[in-house]
Amino acid sequence: MSKHRHFIIHKPFGYLSQFKLEDNRKKKLLGELGEFPEGTMSIGRLDKDSEGLLLLTTDGKVSYAICSSKVEKEYYAQLDGNITAEALEQIRNGVEIGFEGVKYTTKKCKASLLDPKPNFPPRIKKIRDDRHGPTCWVSITLTEGKFRQVRKMTAAVGYPTLRLLRVRIGNIRLENLAAGIVKEVPRLEYNLLAE
C-alpha cells in the first residue's frame, strides 16, 4: 500500500476548495495549483472569497481528526468599520446566525482586535479603500466551522467582513507562504491547540 501524502497550501482568493466539479462550469479549482496524487482531499474548506491556510491529504483518518472540534482554526478578518469592545465580546460569547435555514448560536470562541494590522499582500480583487470609511482587523479562533461562519458572525454584530484569511489550524501556521504556493510535508502535526 502506498504511503499517504500531505500538503499545506495558501488558497488564493477566487478558488474553490475542491478538485472536481459535477458540472462543466469554468471555475478555479485546487488542482490547478499543483500536481496532486489520486485521492487528494481538502481538509475542511474555505469558500471562494476566502484565502489562507488549507491542508490537503490522501489520508481520510487525518482529515477526520483535523475537522474535529478539538482542533482550533484561527482566522484574520478585515472588517467594515472599527469594531467595538462590546461587539467583540458578543462574538466571544456566541451570536445567532442562520445555517441551512435554521437559527444557530455559535459556540464560545476567542476574538481580539489585531493591532498592528497584519501586512498581507493586496488581494487580487481590490477591496474598497479607506476613502469609503475605516476598516479594522480581528483574530477569531473557532473549534467549529459552519458554512461562512466567520462572515456571518461579524455581520451579526454589525461589522461585515471585507477580507478573510485562515492563518492557523491547530499548530500549523500559514506564516509567509505566498498565495497559490503548495508545500508538501511528511506529516500534518495538527494535534496542538493554541500555544
Q: Which residues contact 58 (CB under 8 A, 6 or more apart)?
A: 4, 5, 6, 37, 38, 39, 40, 41
Check whether residue 56 and residue 95 sit in a common domain: no
In tens, the pLDDT along 41-74 reads 999 889 999 999 999 999 998 888 888 778 899 9
CATH code (residue 175): 3.30.70.580
Grid coordinates in use for 110? Answer: 476567542
In tens, the pLDDT along 78-104 reads 999 999 999 999 999 999 998 778 899
Q: Is 150 helix (H, G, I), strand (E, B) or coil?
A: helix
Bond prior to 160 in cis (omega within 30° of 0) = no
Query: Could you give the count of Cα atoms lying within 13 Å of 176 in the half-sphere of its Cβ?
Result: 0
Range of the structural domain that residue 120 is part of: 73-169
Catalytic member of 23, 47, 115, 129: 47
Count of structural domains within the chain: 2
**DSSP run (H or E) holding 78:** strand 73-80
CATH code (residue 88): 3.30.70.1560
Q: Residues 151, 4: contact at Cβ < 8 Å?
A: no
Check whether residue 92 and residue 152 sit in a common domain: yes
Check whether residue 35 and residue 120 sit in a common domain: no
Read off φ and ψ for residue 174, nearest 5 degrees: -65, -40
pLDDT category of residue 131 using cuts at 50, 70 and 90: low
Check whether residue 162 and residue 177 sit in a common domain: no
Check whether residue 52 and residue 103 sit in a common domain: no
At residue 51, the pLDDT reads 96
The yes-or-no verdict on residue 129 having pLDDT over 70 is no
pLDDT category of residue 140 using cuts at 50, 70 and 90: very high
Check whether residue 97 and residue 164 sit in a common domain: yes
Check whether residue 49 and residue 78 sit in a common domain: no
Q: Cell 442562520 appears where?
A: 98
At residue 83, the pLDDT reads 97
Catalytic residue status for 47: yes
List beta partners, residue 102: 99
